[in-house]
Structure 1
Amino acid sequence: MANTATDLTEEDAADLQFPKEDDLSTFSRCNIFDNSDSTYCANCYCEVQSKYILCEKCKVNICLSCFSNGAEFLNHKNDHDYRVLSTNFVLFENSDWTAEEELKLLDCISNYGNWNLITQELPNRSVNEIIQHYEYFYLERNGCKGFPKVNFPDVALFPELVVPYRFRLADTDEPPRYLSNTVGFKSLAGYNPARSDFEIEFDKGAEDILSNLEFVDEDDPHYELLTKLQCSLVEAYNRRLQERQRWKNLIRSHGLLLVRKTHSWLKRYDNTINKNIYEKMIRFMQLCKPTKFEMLMEGLHRVGELKLHISRLINLRKIGITTLAEGRLYFKLKQSHEANKKSLKLFRQDPALNWKACKDSNFTIISKCSRRRSFAPIEISGMPGYSKLSPQEADLCSTVRLVPVTYFQLRDTLVSECRKNGSVSLQTARKLLKIDVNKTRKLYDFLLQEGYIQKTSSSIS
């Protein structure tokens, strides 16, 4: 059909459904949709929405605005035959999704990557419906065999989700019945398994509230007031009893009966969560169910482990190791080096094999002289607070065998003392820190050298 009316309005062009007898769903499977630019106007390059025009001769798309203005471009003339197309048709077989919804779905996935936000753009579809549709027609390529094939990793093929946490439900079982006056009995935090109750009650002074209650005579002029006061005391006692029972249930449900086992469980988080943090976290134990709190702690523990791994990888990258094979070889050689270093040290300490020491006539006397044992540096990379250390501080912590968090606490103690008195002596530092004297001396000298503290004139050496 020749188009002679070039001044059609946008509404008139939208009402033209030519050809009437054609099924637009069959046209949707035409090869025109294989063109990457098939949804854009060939004149103004805007994205066509809802209804648009297809030039039968040029095989290009034209938006309604350009069509109604009689736009001519390239080889296209405004008297060419055309079709009025719409995106309001079903694109795939066995589906009730229109082409317009399909376009909106793909655009939202590209822009958002979040199913909840996509649901807001498609209010008539639920989250599960959107996910199932996308997986069936696009990922599994049931909509078109020309879709790119998705290679699923082995992790995605596991039948069950692997979780990083473990439930400690066994800790809530009935504890063993130790004999009285034994270490095991004391480790139960006062719990008596034979009575299934605690020997020492929580808030054991709660009954003192009722100890001074007396009978009130009805003829007393203040009978009503005294009765209300006594009722208030009884209500307060009941609230304290409820709190006592709540703490009992909390200790049982979270498996806190065995004190030593609880401490060993928390000790597991020293290097990943940090003692100061998990001591604050356990205060919220009363607000969570046992499994939920366990999941929270194990999740934080897993985060700490990942940080340790990342820190080690960063250190390996700094020394030029970029592949797993190089990393395995590095650790293998490092282990061999440490073993050889240890055997060489033992060899030098053996008087029968150390020929240099044999030249000295006083060798027997020298060998008896005890030398201070030197300890190997520790690996502190990835520990809590490691990222805040300067290279000099990291070297000091590794050599002196101090955890970064402990180093910060000791440093802040000496710095605050220096600010208070204007200077700090070595003797004062030993009294404040209360650690090994050699560690104190090295830490004290380092802080003096770095300018954190100032030395007093009476400081001892």
Structure 2
Amino acid sequence: MWGDADGVHDDPCDKPPCRGCSSYLMEPYVKCADCGPPPFLLCLQCFARGFEYKKHQSDHRYEIMTSDFPVLDPSWTAQEEMALLEAVMDCGFGNWQDVANQMRTKSKEDCEKHYMKHFINNPLFASTLLNLKQAEEAKNTETAIPFQSTDDPPRPTFDSLLSRDMAGYMPARADFIEEFDNYAEWDLRDIDFVEDDSDVLHALKIAVVDIYLSRLRERQRRKKIIKDHGLINLRKFQILERRYPKEVQDLYEVMRHFARIVGPVQHDKFIESHALEFELRREIKRLQEYRAAGIKTFCSARMYDHLKRSREEEQLKRTMLTEVLQYIQDSSACLQWLNRQATIDSGLNPAIPITSNSGRRNAPPLNLTGLPGTEKLNEKEKELCQVVRLVPGAYLEYKAALVNECIKEGSLRLAQARALIKIDVNKTRKIYDFLIREGCINKA
């Protein structure tokens, strides 16, 4: 008989030791079907020699406990399934290399493919997620104070990260370090009711006490809202918000101001209903897209989605090619574009636009018509003067100075060219590179 209750964990320390030799149990092992509770467990060696102890006899019925059998995939055992879930819980979703290193029996690609197929995109799990979530919330109704009155509550130190996350709440005292309207008592410190007070003064003192009582009631009201809605455990509250899509998160942010009007259960039901409505609207929109394309079967829909993704990827490649050609002449803008693409590939949303030439727009080419010295330039030199926006006369002077210096020194470095030509360093660099390509000067 094969069991799966006690043999799915990889760590043998999680199970009781063998009753015969007190060694750690390694799968497969034997469980007596007639003895227990607690379960009577034996290793294969003690079972083979017929170990007997008190009421346990060697002729009792038994079960062979092992997790070396497939559950969701023929190539994955139940033990590996549990190891995968524990590794994802320890390393975090998406860190597949660390998950594979912890499992040791599967590669990074195998872990990611198996988890996405059987635990994320599995329609059986997807259809029961809402029910599981509601059942979990029903078990954890007390979200504001994460301990019972008989437990030892946490005691975060003052001004620590946990204390700031809990808004200064001290669970051991069930109170805050600093109250709302913390100096309300100051108005009462000098009040003293004496017999010789006039009626007006006595009425004023009573009014001040009434104002103080109203402040106390406001404190209690705010504490009740915080406790009922579970706002003390801020990180848990933020994690619950992130499970919704962006549109539902925006609604959550807007409706947060009205949470104190309705109860916590009604508020959560309202958000959950809108989240479900958003999912239904998105599914209806997808089905309408299929119908508009003339698709009537889910098999055709899968083919349509595949072709649509292919078209979008092809369109993205063309867009990327256009962008890289646009910034190829500007090294700074090209580097910004590469950094932005790396950010997109890592799953983030870059908000910094690409600026070319320090944010300035490229000037149009210079019109050389009618400028003196144009007839002395060849076609390549004319193109250079147009792009660099340099008049032909100035270019000829710069060229002569650089050529003479190169003949005198035998070679010419860029720093020497910049010392001779007192213009923009980028223009000097372009003239220097052009003369080297044309063979007019030699590079040191």
TM-score under structure 1 normalisation?
0.37
Query: 1 or 2 for the larger relative contact order (CA 8 Å, sep ≥6)?
Result: 1
TM-score, normalised to structure 2, is 0.38
Whichever structure has more helix as a proportion of its residues is 2
